[in-house]
Amino acid sequence: MSLPDKAFPVSWDQFHRDARALAWRLSGSGQTWSAIVCITRGGLVPAAIISRELDIRRIDTVSVASYHDYLSQGDMKVLKEINSEILETEGEGVLIVDDLTDTGKTAAIVRAMLPKAHFATVYAKPKGRPLVDTFITEVSQDTWIYFPWDMGFAYVEPIAKDTRG
């Protein structure tokens, strides 16, 4: 898998701060939500933090997957549907939560399921940003975000010793 040159590693502490900042921003909107629908898997962690901060107890998941590498994305497939009671609301009073919107393809599928929902992500890239109502940090499209649940501790060479070029 070929990855972009720009890397944005996010620690657990940083992600927690950013997810709480998202909750803070959402709390200031004056809107209240009856439920959260988190997009798995990345939306699970921010949804837990936001549900605590905003005291939202009703949480559901939707799972949308594509088999891809960084340069190409395959067909999108819904692996787990949203609860029918929430679907019937068309998303009114529902907060959709994800860690990141990248290309916007997953966001578009979930938006179509819940067109009246408020969509919030911790991070947004330019292609996906138009589909998001609230986010904390925008990163360039060619940046790869390394989330803390995808990383382990390892030695890193000093920049001066980097031989890539």
CB under 8 Å, gap of 24 or more: what pairs does 57-64 form? 58/34, 59/35, 60/35, 60/36, 60/86, 61/37, 62/37, 62/38, 62/110, 62/113, 63/39, 64/39, 64/106, 64/109, 64/110
Q: Is 102 a catalytic residue?
A: yes
- The active-site residue out of 55, 60, 69, 99 is 99
- The active-site residue out of 102, 133, 142, 150 is 102
Fold adopted by 33-147: Rossmann fold (3.40.50)
The model's pTM is 0.86
- Cβ of 68: how many Cβ atoms within 10 Å? 14
pLDDT for the residue 13: 97
Q: Which of 66, 108, 113 is nearest to 94 (CA)?
A: 113
The chain-wide mean pLDDT, for the chain, equals 91
Mean pLDDT in residue range 118-129: 98
pLDDT for the residue 2: 58
Q: Which of 22, 35, 43, 40 is nearest to 100 (CA)?
A: 43
Q: How confident is the model at residue 73 (pLDDT cuts 50, 70, 90)?
A: low
Mean pLDDT in residue range 20-24: 98
Q: Is 98 a catalytic residue?
A: yes
| Cα–Cα distance for residue pair 70/56, rounded to 1 Å | 34
Residue 93 among known ligand-binding residues: no
- The active-site residue out of 55, 69, 75, 98 is 98
